[in-house]
Structure 1
Amino acid sequence: MPALAFSSTISYANAESNSFIYDIAKEAKDGFNYLFKTLIFGTTMKPSDSTQNPNNDFLELPRYTFDFELRPDLFLNFRRVTLIAKPRINVERQYWNDGNRDGDSSTKDDCYVNEWIARLRLTEGLFASYGRENLQWGASFLLSPSNPFFRNNGQSNPKCEVPGMDFARFVWIPNSSCTASLIANTDEGRQEFVLDDFEPTYALKLDYNSYQKNFSVIASYKEEDRFQIGAFAKWTVSDALMLHGETSVTQGTNALYPVEIITPSGSSIQMIPVKKDETSLEGLLLLGGSYTLEAGPTLTLEYVFNSTGYDEKEAELYYELRDEASQAFYSPYSGVAEIAQLLLIQTLDTKLKLLRKNYFMLQYQHSQIRDVLNLIFRYTYNINDYSSHFVSIVEYDVGDHTQLFLIGNQNFGSKDTEFRSIVEYSWMFGLEYTF
């Protein structure tokens, strides 16, 4: 080959290579996006001096906290691949004003990834992914009974992120109405488990969506535990009225129940999973509806029945045990104090989503008032022990990038009731800047 022709071939190949690299880089750049949030907020909280947290010496909740958080969300769509990463940086200053830590203060910082996902489109309508996610679904506000992975649905405080867990997922979308998902919860991620170690959970989720009706069924199994069948549905009756429901059913439950043990030397109360091996069906049922007024606000009402919740006798034993444990918590004998601490851990985390059987919730929501103000007021009432919980969420937009927010939680009732056992009130005020 003549030298001139060979040189021309090399130049052409280099040009083709450079063009290919340029096209790939441009495609990746066009598929990249981000959302960056900076939050500065302070929180004041009054711990309840209850039998669950005597003098705040058990939970040691700070009275005041001040936080600075950086929350970048990074997205990349490149051909068949989608990558998502949500790294977080948090600096927090805490002050104590109760119990043994009265007068203490501390500063802590943390850098972590709350969520990340790598998703591959295998064929048209079929996706595989692995990563750390906060998987939520359904139209319910108070809680999500059908979700076998998360207790917290994130509705009580939209500025506090739910810690993600690790999931492998296969999702098949055969048409616009149907979706099937295989989900494996492989690791606890950033979630914390108090009494038991994390156990993997596997689920099959089937979704049907139409113009006015949505319906989903979730069958799941948790290792070393049991099967659960869950479902949720939403029906848009009219432009103003929407009905929704959600449920979950299992055979038996691993929840802890207070049991009085009679011995020759006397009696004692212990927390025992007495329904662990039962075959009777136990479950949670939530029924709700929302109505939107012409002026803009939406009113929502929800009722929850929790078959696994404590009855009157069980609740009486539960609070009696808490009282005994809170007194023994200060015992000069280390062995007695350690047993009391273990009992308080058990009464804190009974593995029940709700402690009693019957609840209702009323919510007022009005968004984009004069294009700048969002309001949510939510009142939850425990029908069995008469305690209640009030949440207020106020967001005010200042310009296109800045939002002021106020989130309040106020609990009512005796200190030996569900909602006032831990905190009497908390108020969070801050600023969020987005770009």
Structure 2
Amino acid sequence: MLPFLSVKAVEMESQVRQVSYLLWRQPELSSQNPDNDFLELYRYQARVELRPDIKFIGTHYQLMLKPRLSYDYWWHKVGAAEESGDSQGDIYLNEGMIQFEITPDAFIVYGRENLQWGPSYLRTPSNPFFRDNGQDNPKKEIEGKDFFKVIYLPNDWFTMSIIGLLEPGGMKSETAPIETDFRRQNALKLDLLGVNYNASLILSRQDGGNEFVGGHAQGTATDAVLIYFDAAVYRGHTALYPRLDSSHPLGGDFVRQYDNNTKQYFIGVTGISYTLENSATLSLEYLYNGIGYNDSEAEAYYFLRQNAADNIHSEFSDLARANLGASLDPGLKLLRRHYLFFQYALNEMGEKLSYTLRWTINMDDHSDMFTLITEYAYNDYLEFFVIGDVNQGSSNSEFTSLLRNDLMLGFEYTF
């Protein structure tokens, strides 16, 4: 009889958090969202969310469920869009998986998961499954995807994981209404854990032939200095690139130019963190995104985006909206090639108050984003938070294409 089929006592662990917030946004009526006719963003949003986390622990298995119940109310559209309120309630499973112990050092896992790794803050190039690592806003959850995993842990310093991405999972985002084609993907992940370092190697292949080799590592140079990197090399990828065509009514469209291509592309982050005497941490990162648009591709991108914006109500409206959907989400971790990132993080008042200041700079189009994350733990159950972004740059730049500013005020209560 297989060990995970034996029936013994089951332990249950649970926690329920209620997250509520008000969100104010200042949309930028750029060519990406002309007069707010494409995305129809609201200036204000109120959200109440119930986040139960439930775990059942058996002798040879674990079942984890993270169902979510949410209610949103939006009001005050800007631009040409009709100024009216709207609301929506949702019940969904953000994460949920079951793990079976085959032997004491081997497990199989199936289910929906937000699978993250790596030491970098800005992006995680070595993760082929998620473009967002959730660092921008700790109060917004990333939607899980459906995975099958086989995990082998022969000792304390080595882990091998075979990972299969089966389904995209999740729901459509308010700012990404255009669906993209999903492709299954498999990966092999090897992890090493040392005394003052850790490192991982990731090999991945996507249906259609695109391949990926990635890795990340970090090590302590001194008690106060941490050095790390996170990088990947792609051979072919599914990102969309602008294609100029004089015979096209809008001057061109967006295509998967390098899909199943043998050319190799590098994306990597190198970073350093320094801990001050007051326990604050200063971090600096540089990211090179070889998959991002160069100057000529960016010029074509904004040319096609402007033509689409000019024709959103013309006889070519469907083509215009298709191009705007592609320009909104071309499938890149970041749009351009060179980025700098600075962060200052500090816990004060016996770790009751924490705040993080971030500054992200696009070195190609000279746009930047300032982020403030403040959290105050009133007691063991109640926490207040303030999270805000200020984006600077022209309307034809990455960080100001959708929003100029946004501010989130809220609280989290743990039952």
Give yes or no for TM over 0.5: yes
Distance 1:142 1:321 in 2: 28
Equivalent residue for 1:65?
45
Instruction: Please tell me whether residue 245 in structure 1 is matched to residue 229 in structure 2.
Output: yes
Runs of 4+ in 1 over 6 A off after TM superposition: none
Q: Contact 2:25 / 2:44 at 8 angstroms: preserved in 1?
A: yes
Aligned pairs for 1:178-327 (under 5 A) are 178-192=158-172, 194-262=178-246, 268-327=251-310
Distance 2:92 2:375 in 1: 27
Q: Secondary structure at the match of 1:322?
A: helix
Deviation at 1:253, TM superposition (A): 2.9
Unaligned runs of at least 5 residues, structure 2: 1-6
Distance 1:51 1:339 in 2: 15
Deviation at 1:270, TM superposition (A): 2.8
From 377, 387, 400, the counterpart of 1:397: 377
Q: Contact 2:107 / 2:152 at 8 angstroms: preserved in 1?
A: yes
Deviation at 1:262, TM superposition (A): 4.6
Deviation at 1:204, TM superposition (A): 0.5
Q: Identify the structure with the greater helix proportion.
A: 1
Percent of aligned pairs with the same amino acid: 36
Q: Contact 1:219 / 1:229 at 8 angstroms: preserved in 2?
A: yes
Q: Deviations over 1:327-379 (max 9, x none)?
A: 11122x2xx11111111111112122111110010000112443310111111
Equivalent residue for 1:370?
350
Q: Which moved more, 1:184-193 or 1:86-95?
A: 184-193
Distance 2:401 2:191 in 1: 38
Q: Deviations over 1:75-119 (max 9, x none)?
A: 121111111111111011111331343321111101111111111
From 337, 350, 359, the counterpart of 2:330: 350
Distance 2:289 2:360 in 1: 15
Q: Contact 1:183 / 1:204 at 8 angstroms: preserved in 2?
A: yes
Aligned pairs for 1:91-106 (under 5 A) are 91-106=71-86
The one-letter code of the counterpart of 1:339 is L
Q: Contact 2:191 / 2:201 at 8 angstroms: preserved in 1?
A: yes
Equivalent residue for 1:11?
none
Higher-Rg structure is 1
Equivalent residue for 2:88?
108
CA spacing shift, 1:47–1:319, aligned 2, 3 Å? same
The one-letter code of the counterpart of 2:124 is S
Instruction: Please tell me whether residue 149 in structure 1 is matched to residue 129 in structure 2.
Output: yes
CA spacing shift, 1:191–1:234, aligned 2, 3 Å? farther
Q: Deviations over 1:188-214 (max 9, x none)?
A: 111548343221111110000111111
Unaligned runs of at least 5 residues, structure 1: 1-23
From 334, 338, 341, the counterpart of 1:361: 341
Q: Deviations over 1:5-58 (max 9, x none)?
A: xxxxxxxxxxxxxxxxxxx88x42xx2111110111110111110001111110
With the length of structure 2 as denominator, give the TM-score of the two structures.
0.94
From 367, 377, 397, the counterpart of 1:417: 397
Q: Secondary structure at the match of 1:140?
A: coil
With the length of structure 1 as denominator, give the TM-score of the two structures.
0.90
Distance 2:81 2:118 in 1: 41
CA spacing shift, 1:32–1:239, aligned 2, 3 Å? same
Deviation at 1:62, TM superposition (A): 1.5
Q: Contact 1:302 / 1:362 at 8 angstroms: preserved in 2?
A: yes
Deviation at 1:218, TM superposition (A): 0.7
Distance 1:103 1:261 in 2: 37
Deviation at 1:276, TM superposition (A): 2.9
Distance 2:255 2:144 in 1: 30
Q: Contact 1:165 / 1:191 at 8 angstroms: preserved in 2?
A: no
The one-letter code of the counterpart of 1:314 is E
Q: Contact 1:164 / 1:191 at 8 angstroms: preserved in 2?
A: no
Distance 2:64 2:318 in 1: 44
Distance 2:50 2:249 in 1: 57
Deviation at 1:247, TM superposition (A): 0.8
